[in-house]
Amino acid sequence: MNSEDPLEIRVLLVEDSAADVYLVREAMSREGLNFRLDVAEDGEKAIEILDHVDANPQEHAPGLLLLDLNVPRKNGMVVLDRLRQSPRCGGIPVIMISSSDSPWDRRSAFELGVTEYFRKPSYLDQFMLLGKIVRRLVDEPGPVEVADTRSLSGA
């Protein structure tokens, strides 16, 4: 899919913070992406959505998962592990979104098959860089070169 492609990107966002949901939506809008954003407010709800997609072949599968590491009920690592076992969704790109900069969290996420790890920055302009990462994943399937906001922002 290239940037001229008007197809809608179906995105599942697993995030319990309304403010962060707003920021994700804004970052993607500012990048000019045509997207449908479905939000699961906890890990258990995300797994229910994956189970529903797997059980119903006529159901549209998400094309991208944006996954907060620290969500209630089942954390992001549990959701990521379940996603990678999904017959219909197992191969989709995943951006792990987290306030954690822990090397252990990053390593664990990549071992479970995350495509990108985006550390939630303190500044709005840095958060908006998430839209550019999504754009790169959409335009150039495969891993994005830049792994976190420090690399993008020069911080």
Q: What is the pLDDT of residue 4?
A: 47
Look at residue 21 and tell me whether its pLDDT is greater than 50: yes
| Entry pTM | 0.83
Residue 27 lies in a domain: yes
pLDDT grade, residue 6 (50/70/90)?
A: low
Residue 57 lies in a domain: yes
Three-state SS for 99? coil
CATH number, position 105 = 3.40.50.2300
Residue 3 lies in a domain: no
Domain that holds residue 73: 9-145
Residue 47 domain-assigned? Answer: yes
d(CA 145, CA 113): 15
Residue 30: inside a domain, yes or no?
yes
Query: 106 lies in a domain?
Result: yes
User: Domain for residue 65, yes or no?
Assistant: yes
Does residue 150 belong to any structural domain of this protein?
A: no
* pLDDT band at 97; cut points 50, 70, 90: very high
